[in-house]
Amino acid sequence: MDMVRENHKKAGLFDNFSSLIRKCIFSVLSIGPVPSHIAFIMDGNRRYAKKKNLLEKDGYRAGFSVLINVLRYCYELGMKQITVYAFSIDNFKRRPEEVQSLMELMQEKIDELIAEESIVNRLGIRIYFRGNLKLLSEPVRSSVEMAMAKTAGNSKAVLSVCVAYTSTDEIARAVQESCEEKQDEIREQDASNTGNYALEQLIGVADIDRHMYMAGVPDPDVIIRTSGGTRLSNFLLWQSAHCLLYSPRALWPEISFWHLVLAIIYFQRNYFYVKEKKKQA
């Protein structure tokens, strides 16, 4: 029993020391510009499992643990918006047993996230799930809705989880809903034979923005795709016109505090270039 207490004490001291080191590093980084919104393409869970001779499901479990750590780091740095690409619509094309396993794991981890003592509640993080949620199984969809309801009172930061999501689906849906919203006006213009020019005037970027899954969320400052990939894989295509892409070679479950530090330094080095491009747009 004394040994257990001693180990807990050492672990607590190590955590406190690590937290102090992070605060010191973040205070230095905060002298320069810091992203207010950072997005992650969490690539490499299956490859990590294969690399470590684990079951695929355990690779995703390791990835979830990393997500919790990354949430803490982003919060400590003062970021207000964190977005993660959790499950693409294209992922439904995988083997049925793999999809089922991922859905069960997703439900399990959502329930963990909304536990009273969970990190999202301790840090005051609100969770939104964004995507075509009708494609999810009923149990998972219920967990998703419960998570959003239970964290609705949290206001210190926002975690957007893109699930059953692709940008093409998001854009197509937004355009369709924009057309439906302006249906009466479109019919009036058609009746007056003013044609496509009038349609372009009726539906603009702001209308489409309002119907996006990511409506109301500032565009990301930087997207981090792990595993060294340089593709967006149908993620936030509409929102990333003036966004940096950072691609560390580490697989998602291997991502550490230092990878985030390097991503922020990369953002700071390119900040004024991106700012100038935004002005020109």
Q: Based on the fold, state whether residues 129 and 203 are members of the same structural domain.
A: no
pLDDT at 278: 85
Q: Based on the fold, state whether residues 145 and 204 are members of the same structural domain.
A: no
Of residues 37 and 188, more confidence is placed in 37
pLDDT at 182: 79
Among 2, 43, 169, 190, the active-site one is: 43
The span from the CA of 36 to the CA of 271, in Å, is: 12
Share of the chain above pLDDT 70, in %: 88
Number of domains in the chain: 2
pLDDT at 8 over 80: no
184 as an active site residue: the answer is: no
CATH number of the structural domain spanning residue 117: 3.40.1180.10
Q: Based on the fold, state whether residues 196 and 181 are members of the same structural domain.
A: yes
Q: Based on the fold, state whether residues 251 and 264 are members of the same structural domain.
A: yes
Q: Based on the fold, state whether residues 56 and 159 are members of the same structural domain.
A: yes
Q: Based on the fold, state whether residues 71 and 85 are members of the same structural domain.
A: yes
Long-range CB contacts (< 8 A, 24+ apart) of 169-174? 169/89, 169/131, 169/132, 170/131, 170/212, 170/213, 170/214, 170/238, 171/208, 171/212, 171/237, 171/238, 173/132, 173/211, 173/213, 174/208, 174/209, 174/210, 174/211, 174/212
Q: Based on the fold, state whether residues 191 and 156 are members of the same structural domain.
A: no
Q: Which range of residues forms the domain containing residue 198?
A: 167-212
Q: Based on the fold, state whether residues 145 and 176 are members of the same structural domain.
A: no
Encoded tokens for 126:
């609100």
Count CB-CB contacts under 10 A for residue 213. 24
pLDDT at 63 over 70: yes
Q: Based on the fold, state whether residues 153 and 262 are members of the same structural domain.
A: yes
Q: Based on the fold, state whether residues 203 and 190 are members of the same structural domain.
A: yes
pLDDT at 204 over 90: no
Q: Based on the fold, state whether residues 198 and 172 are members of the same structural domain.
A: yes
pLDDT at 148: 96
Domain membership of residue 268 (yes or no) is yes
State phi, psi for 159 to the nearest 5 degrees.
Answer: -105, 115
Q: Based on the fold, state whether residues 56 and 171 are members of the same structural domain.
A: no
Residue 12 binned pLDDT confidence (cut-offs 50, 70, 90): very low
What are the pLDDT digits (tens) for 217-226? 999 999 999 9
Residue 244's closest CA among 213, 216, 206, 275? 275
The span from the CA of 24 to the CA of 261, in Å, is: 12
Residue 189 binned pLDDT confidence (cut-offs 50, 70, 90): low
Number of helices and strands in the chain (H, E): 11, 6
Q: What is the mean pLDDT of the chain?
A: 89
